[in-house]
Structure 1
Amino acid sequence: RLGLRRAELGSRLPEGVTELHFHTLCQHNADALERTMAAFEERFGDLLPGLASVNFGGGHHITRPDYDLDRLCRVVAGFQERHGVQVYLEPGEATALNAGFLVTEVLDVLERGGQAMAILDTAVPCHMPDVLEMPYRPHILGSGLPGEKPHTYRLGGLSCLAGDVAGDYSFDQPLSPGDRLVFTDMAIYSMVKTTTFNGVNLPALCLLEQGQSVPRIIKTFGYEDFKNRLS
């Protein structure tokens, strides 16, 4: 579904094609890009003459503290010099890495079959669909892996779906109704995918400015947003 194999391209590109694009990375460092580039040159190098540009795709975590920016610059500059093309990157995730928080509240705490559970006032399919689609386990401030801290819970949402589960987390103290849990890194693939499935309301959008302790509410949502979306 995503792209063509080398054998499908033949010995020359179709007329009018001026760029090749590969996208093989996901949250990787520059060493992975360097290996990918070497494989790309080996398999597709004969198609590069005459191209205007090559797109190195996304997945470059260039804003991560341990990202090797010097290596990235060497890789890109070297490729451009060898092949005389413009190189493009799509580090979309990196531009908002670790930005955005989803603040949730514990509605109830219960136990089923020896498994402690906490029900939150959020719904994973509605507010964090990427958790189910990828899937991945989002981080919660102050939490640990299951069993890492004294109290482990399976966190579930309030929708009707049996799979409305964020994952298993451990905490220093027992959870109680009214406790707030903060999911991190929610601005990239979560906020943009939110839905009102099951009539679950969207969370308000708030802005906490530097030096301030109380967030400012930017936008709220209600029943009319749910009603009018498909009406």
Structure 2
Amino acid sequence: MMKENEIKTPFYIVYEDRLRANLELISRVARQADVKIIMAFKANALWRTFPIIREYGVDATASSLNELRLAREELHAEVHSYCPAYTPDTIGEYLDGSTHITFNSLGQWERFRSEVAARNGKVSPGLRVNPQCSVIGTDIYNPALPGSRFGVTSDMMPEELPQGLEGFHFHALCESDSHDLERVLAAFEEQFGRYLPSLKWVNMGGGHLMTRAGYDTAHLVSVLRGFKARHPNLEVILEPGSAFTWRTGDLITSVVDVVENQGVKTAIVDVSFACHMPDTLEMPYKPAITEALAEPDPSMPTYRLGGNSCLSGDYVGDWSFVRPLQAGDRLRLEDMNHYTTVKTTMFNGISHPSIVLCRASGECEVLREFTYQDYRMS
């Protein structure tokens, strides 16, 4: 065990007290709304933190066999599976390891319904539907765009619910609020309401960012309780990813050089946006830096931040600081514990940052360091 300032950069750090605060809020919402809230590994799969999460009785959703196995072996969880397309080689393992399984199309359901029936009720099958209600501003994360490959639209549904299906699953949010859910839910009920009396459950997918500061959890509870009052036969499931680990960890990096070209100063750091924070380039967005001013100020020392790879576009900026940056300065890139470690690459052979867990006591434990063998075997 050591203190945070004793650990060599770069490293991701997860804070136990912040993680527990999120888990407690999510658990409280689940109790008040009488719903089941499960964790999506696509946002975070740091299994060394699962002993903390297990204390809150959290189950999981899986979109691959690797996620399914991780959920069962490390989280000891009930698994709700969804995959855009199952194959004859994978369907058996999904069915054997899941309590719930969602099919993306009517064709997939028809192809594998006999496999489900052979499990004699051990897994509950559902269908992903698409309410075509778009509330997401960034297209790459929007499953409700025209021509989406996700889910069955209402015009493609038969008059009668296909026999054997027990649930519906829709996913239309991304870091969204409860008012977005309310809009999507209205579209869902309008388009698919006639089938709901025949179902056992509805999975409202992910994107419910209930742990973000200012999120109206009371309104969320009201929306969910209202839906359950209208459909008392249904179990309601939510599967957020980011909400569990929102603002629970940071990425600590050091400046290794400062270069200037045509009036632009770039502080090169010992991490890479492309390798270690790909969402900053995909969305794109600029992460907050604790040591920087909230907004760029041309009157102050101002820098673009450049990653330590050979990709020309491996940079984000600009940030202003109260004093000039120099090699050796540490910077804290905030909120880097969701959609970061799950998306890292070793492009250029650049090693991943270490992974650190900071206990509530303030003592820190290095959970993982990466070596040449990790690159070689990848």
Q: What TM-score, normalized by structure 1, do the two folds share? A: 0.90
Letter in structure 2 aligned against 1:202: H
Letter in structure 2 aligned against 1:184: E
Is 2:332 the counterpart of 1:173? no
- Which consecutive aligned stretches of 4+ in structure 1 deviate over 6 angstroms post-superposition? none
* Equivalent in the alignment of 2:14: none
In 1, Cα distance between the equivalents of 2:183 and 2:370? 46
In 2, Cα distance between the equivalents of 1:185 and 1:12? 46
- Distance apart, 1:102 and its partner CA: 0.9
* Equivalent in the alignment of 2:174: 26
* Equivalent in the alignment of 1:115: 264
- Distance apart, 1:65 and its partner CA: 3.1
Is 2:285 the counterpart of 1:140? no
* Equivalent in the alignment of 1:198: 348
Is 2:332 the counterpart of 1:185? no
How large is the Cα RMSD of the aligned pairs?
A: 1.9
* Equivalent in the alignment of 1:40: 188
In 1, Cα distance between the equivalents of 2:217 and 2:357? 30
- Distance apart, 1:211 and its partner CA: 3.9
1:117 alignment partner, SS class: strand
* Equivalent in the alignment of 1:81: 229
1:36 alignment partner, SS class: helix
In 2, Cα distance between the equivalents of 1:175 and 1:89? 44
Cα displacement string for residues 180-214 of structure 1 (whole angstroms, at most 9, x for unaligned residues): 111111111101222221110111122222343x6
Please identify, of 10-19 and 111-120, the stretch whose mean Cα deviation from structure 2 is larger.
10-19
Letter in structure 1 aligned against 2:273: V
In 1, Cα distance between the equivalents of 2:242 and 2:202? 20
In 2, Cα distance between the equivalents of 1:113 and 1:151? 16
* Structure 1 unmatched ranges of 5 or more: none
Contact 1:149 1:172 in 2 (8 A): no
- Distance apart, 1:14 and its partner CA: 2.7
Contact 1:206 1:218 in 2 (8 A): yes
Change in 2 beyond 3 A, CA 1:146/1:10: farther
**Matched residue count:** 228
- Distance apart, 1:149 and its partner CA: 7.1
* Equivalent in the alignment of 2:207: 59
* Equivalent in the alignment of 2:242: 93
In 1, Cα distance between the equivalents of 2:329 and 2:262? 23
Is 2:197 the counterpart of 1:49? yes
In 2, Cα distance between the equivalents of 1:183 and 1:149? 23
2:249 alignment partner, SS class: coil
In 2, Cα distance between the equivalents of 1:42 and 1:199? 51
Contact 1:152 1:171 in 2 (8 A): yes
Letter in structure 2 aligned against 1:203: P
In 2, Cα distance between the equivalents of 1:148 and 1:3? 48
In 2, Cα distance between the equivalents of 1:184 and 1:228? 30
Change in 2 beyond 3 A, CA 1:13/1:145: farther
Letter in structure 1 aligned against 2:255: V
* Equivalent in the alignment of 2:162: 14
In 2, Cα distance between the equivalents of 1:73 and 1:42? 21
Q: Percent identity?
A: 46
- Distance apart, 1:148 and its partner CA: 7.2
2:197 alignment partner, SS class: coil
Contact 1:11 1:47 in 2 (8 A): no
* Structure 2 unmatched ranges of 5 or more: 1-148
Change in 2 beyond 3 A, CA 1:172/1:2: farther
Please identify, of 185-194 and 5-14, the stretch whose mean Cα deviation from structure 2 is larger.
5-14
In 2, Cα distance between the equivalents of 1:227 and 1:148? 44
* Equivalent in the alignment of 1:225: 374
In 2, Cα distance between the equivalents of 1:2 and 1:225? 34
Letter in structure 2 aligned against 1:87: V
1:91 alignment partner, SS class: coil
Contact 1:99 1:184 in 2 (8 A): no
* Equivalent in the alignment of 2:106: none
- Distance apart, 1:109 and its partner CA: 0.9
In 2, Cα distance between the equivalents of 1:12 and 1:147? 61
1:48 alignment partner, SS class: helix
- Distance apart, 1:128 and its partner CA: 1.0
